[in-house]
Structure 1
Amino acid sequence: MENPGNRLSKKTLFAYGCGDFASNLCWTFVGSYLSVFYTDVVGMAPAIASMIMLIAKIWDGVNDPMFGMIAERTNSKKGRFRPYIFYGAPFLALFSVLTFTTFGKGSAAVGWAAFSYIGCGMLYTVVNLSYGSLSTVMTTNAEDIAQLNSYRMMGTNISSVLLNAITAPMLAAFSAGSQGYTAKSYTIVAIIFAVCAIPIFYFVYANCKETIQPQKTETRIPISKSLKSVLGNGPLMLLFLIQLIAMTAFFGRMGVVIYYLMYDVQRMDLVAVFMSLPSLMTVIGILVTKNHMVTFGKKKMAAIGYIGAGLSLILIYIVGNTMGYSNIPVLIILHACYGFFCFSFPIPMAMVPDAINYEEDRHGVRADGVSYATVSLSTKFGSAFGVSGALLIMAVFGYVANAQQTAAAMNGINLTVNLIFGIMYLVCLIPLYFYPLNEKRSAEIRARLDERAGLSKE
């Protein structure tokens, strides 16, 4: 077996970054447009759409750790995680299309929406959790682990830039001059993205290898022991909490910012600019900071990012309330600043291998799949709680689909999309403060594990 301490090639790093690009071809469209598809196309009340998303994520709370345990107990020639990418990708692509189809009316439409969305979420778990877990088993080199997650986040945001730039024009084009986007246009766009995603997933599968394996005596550890090792892992639980808060803010805003642009800013011609600019600036932020994660410290860099992102959103809210939504240059600048400070998003995931090593060093249990699933679950919960909570708050302020909004409703949209989520980024600093592992301590733990495994220090 290849020494897991060897440095990864640029091709491998690039291939790994493509994984989230492929995932987002299926999932970013869901995250950004599904809520408005449900309310403004299917005709669901915001409360019903919110309930579907919430139920789906409650199920994810059971499904994700369960699949993590299945994956880490898988024993195949291709590894523990890679086979699920190979076999799961086509089914994820299929359900990402079904999510943007309609079936019947009334309760039938709601039932179909729940079935397709929950199915899409389960398949996303199979593929994306397996893909994400690869970063914990591809290398033991601390710098490469940070680079893997930086490349991953660049893939995420490059895809977001592309999708946010082309989705609105594509929907308009396939709506054939209709006043709003049609159900057919959503389905066609979903098909195009799904077809493009499958070969990219296979590129990741072919180029990202697993080099870290648990000791043979641990391949069949009891499920109860895996769960205990994860729940008793203090650093991992703090990472879960950090990601839960940050992803609630990030995905929550992503899922409802379209309402802010449609009803507050009222510049549909600038939707692509406002939705793609933050992702573009995140890529720039990651490129600027990714080589400093280990030397400056992941914890400090994360704190800088959360502070910058939080303050940027709070300022966007203040500008809307005081200067008006027509001050486009200021709003664009603040959206760019928000995107830049989102460079912090890959950092907690780069800390996950350190937390896994911490638990293995203490108790001899290496629960890669369950550990990653636990932290990854925060992304699922965050996207559900953020969007569903935002829809409910907007409804309280009087939001009505496809109508001229009252002043109270417009203020509610601004408060939800910007102020609440901005404050949430600042709240991330609390659990981050208590996170106990730094670069020096993590390196010492890794050295002890390598010594026990008899690996050379190449």
Structure 2
Amino acid sequence: MTHNGQSISGSATSVRSDEPASGDAPSRQRLTWGTRLSYGLGDLASQLVWTTTGSYLAIFYTDAVGLSAGAVGVLMLIARVFDAAIDPGIGAAAERTRSRFGRFRSWIIYGSPILAILLVLSFSTIPGSDGAKFLYAIVTYGLLGIAYSAVNVPYGSLVSVMTTDTQERVTLNSIRLIGTNVGVVLLNVITLPLILFFSGLTGGVGDEMTIAGYTWTAAVMAAIALPLFLITAFKSKEVVQPIHSTRVSLRTTARIVFGNRLLMLIFAIMMLAMTGFFGRLGVVIYYFIYAVGRVDLIPVLMATPAVAGVIGILLFTPLTRRFGKRAVAIVSLVAQGLSLVALYLVGWEDVTLVIVISAIYGLASFNAPIFWSMVPDAIDYAEDKHGVRADGTAYAVISFAQKIAAAVGVAIGLAALGAIGYVANTAQAPEVLSGMNVIVNLAPAILCFAAIIPLSFYRLSARQYDEIRARLDTAALRTLRKG
């Protein structure tokens, strides 16, 4: 039976909704395609917030509002670090939530309308001095980050409670990341044209996009994202629940989470790989505008890796069933790094070659769903070892890593732009363009290669996981018989 919303995290074992009456070990839950696709819509909605801010908020602040690149870098670092710091608290609160919707879905249902409003407010400003505009920006962006955490941490945690099948988790995370890439493609196809439209511009040379153009575009994104979040929340079911309602102290939860060797390796992997990925995403538009010099091709240049990424996920993540998650993820990181090195070496003058290599980079970027599917495996590993299921907190810790990586990556990228002499809305000097090439292509490549180091120490085979899952299922049945 389903114990939806009747107990809280921190209990000894977990139970499945498809528990057999015979007392045999529960079979692995297979999800319908309707459920899988509905779950993927949540990340599509998330990208309408995350990628819109990640790709366009910095240039909105520098080129529309008029803040300096250095100030924007500091702003984003402060806001993202604060946002990331609250993730573990949100995860702990979510896994202890009791509601008729379960532990995690209620956060999505009630938090997504607030998130939509804050997205619009973040792409606006107030009249006054640069100091007043900076203060408004840091408050609205900071609140946006908190709201995003309150929705996205529970959303990510759903994978660990929707099924116990490790390959099903790969599938869910693959669909989730396909949703990510579809969101990125959608954004890069429609965002710039929308900004230009609402700015009253045609996209000609010298056009300067207006604050109102960004604000109305954010409103469109918010209007699309909100119903997608709600579909995810109402179509996803929490079938893995803690059996006992005994509360576990936050200290115990923290000790188990931070003592989880596998989870800490995933943390290190995400810090390195995502610093490069999101740092590049946050500043690559500067490279396309000023180095490649084809504003008209920005939708194509930005969308190409995302489209190829969908193909890469569909083609290569199923290989984890045969070769294992670690081996396939290592291949992905190597291919990503080499493609970025190739982009650095060819430069920006041959636009066709830039698009082709960008497509290869996208094809190689299939590691994220693998990394995220490792998280519930690590949660089960810790539950088997310590008898406590801290799924919300564990996901929050990895979300923390991703957000810190994004904050550091974008902040360093913007600071580097300022250091090499970038000046908004002007032609850039040759040395500035060369510096952009290093920031956008070479530096992220190095971080891809660095992420292979902690990944090589992640060792949890399919056989070992099956043994862990069998012990947890047996413990769940034993507890049910006693109850």
User: Which TM bucket (shorter chain)?
Assistant: over 0.9
Q: CA deviation at 1:166?
A: 1.2
C-alpha RMSD of the superposition: 1.3
Partners of 2:195 and 2:225 lie apart in 1 by 19
Matched, 1:384 2:411: no
State the TM-score, normalized to the length of structure 2.
0.91
Partners of 1:55 and 1:199 lie apart in 2 by 30
In structure 2, the residue matched to 1:222 is 249
Q: CA deviation at 1:162?
A: 1.0
Partners of 2:303 and 2:309 lie apart in 1 by 10
Kindly provide the amino acid, as one letter, of the partner of residue 333 in structure 2.
Answer: Y
In structure 2, the residue matched to 1:246 is 273
What secondary structure, in the 3-state scheme, does the structure 1 residue paired with 2:448 have? helix
Partners of 1:151 and 1:297 lie apart in 2 by 19
1:47-446 equivalence runs, <5 A: 47-104=70-127, 105-177=129-201, 179-218=207-246, 220-320=247-347, 325-446=348-469
Kindly provide the amino acid, as one letter, of the partner of residue 300 in structure 1.
Answer: A
Partners of 1:405 and 1:328 lie apart in 2 by 18
Partners of 1:413 and 1:288 lie apart in 2 by 32
Q: String of CA shifts for 1:272-297, please: whole Å, max 9, x gaps.
A: 11100000000001111232222221
Q: Is the 8 A contact 2:87 2:400 kept in 1?
A: yes
Partners of 2:458 and 2:419 lie apart in 1 by 36
State the TM-score, normalized to the length of structure 1.
0.96
What secondary structure, in the 3-state scheme, does the structure 2 residue paired with 1:80 have? coil
Matched, 1:3 2:27: no
Partners of 2:34 and 2:313 lie apart in 1 by 18
Partners of 1:103 and 1:380 lie apart in 2 by 27
Q: How many aligned residue pairs are there?
A: 451
Partners of 1:379 and 1:170 lie apart in 2 by 29
Q: Is the 8 A contact 2:123 2:214 kept in 1?
A: yes
Kindly provide the amino acid, as one letter, of the partner of residue 420 in structure 1.
Answer: A
Segments of structure 2 that go 5 or more residues without pairing to the other structure are: 3-16, 20-27
Q: String of CA shifts for 1:235-262, please: whole Å, max 9, x gaps.
A: 0001011011111111111110001001
Q: String of CA shifts for 1:66-90, please: whole Å, max 9, x gaps.
A: 1111111112221110000000010
Q: Is the 8 A contact 1:27 1:96 kept in 2?
A: no
Q: CA deviation at 1:215?
A: 2.9
Q: String of CA shifts for 1:348-405, please: whole Å, max 9, x gaps.
A: 1100011111111111111000000001112211111111100111111111111111
Aligned pair partner of 1:12 in 26, 32, 35: 35
What secondary structure, in the 3-state scheme, does the structure 2 residue paired with 1:103 have? coil
Partners of 1:453 and 1:273 lie apart in 2 by 51
Partners of 1:32 and 1:389 lie apart in 2 by 15
Please say which of residues 292-301 and 94-103 is displaced more in the overlay: 292-301
Q: Is the 8 A contact 1:150 1:290 kept in 2?
A: yes
Q: Is the 8 A contact 1:146 1:294 kept in 2?
A: no
Kindly provide the amino acid, as one letter, of the partner of residue 385 in structure 2.
Answer: R
Q: Is the 8 A contact 1:252 1:383 kept in 2?
A: yes
Q: Is the 8 A contact 1:247 1:383 kept in 2?
A: yes
1:12-51 equivalence runs, <5 A: 12-51=35-74
Q: CA deviation at 1:100?
A: 0.2
Please say which of residues 404-413 and 80-89 is displaced more in the overlay: 404-413
Q: String of CA shifts for 1:27-54, please: whole Å, max 9, x gaps.
A: 2110100111111111111111011111
Partners of 1:431 and 1:291 lie apart in 2 by 23
What secondary structure, in the 3-state scheme, does the structure 2 residue paired with 1:326 have? coil
Q: Is the 8 A contact 1:262 1:268 kept in 2?
A: yes
Change (3 A) 1:252 1:80: same
Kindly provide the amino acid, as one letter, of the partner of residue 331 in structure 2.
Answer: I
Kindly provide the amino acid, as one letter, of the partner of residue 109 in structure 1.
Answer: K
Q: CA deviation at 1:446?
A: 0.9
Q: CA deviation at 1:3?
A: 2.0
Please say which of residues 147-156 and 404-413 is displaced more in the overlay: 404-413
Q: Is the 8 A contact 1:40 1:402 kept in 2?
A: yes
Partners of 2:478 and 2:377 lie apart in 1 by 18
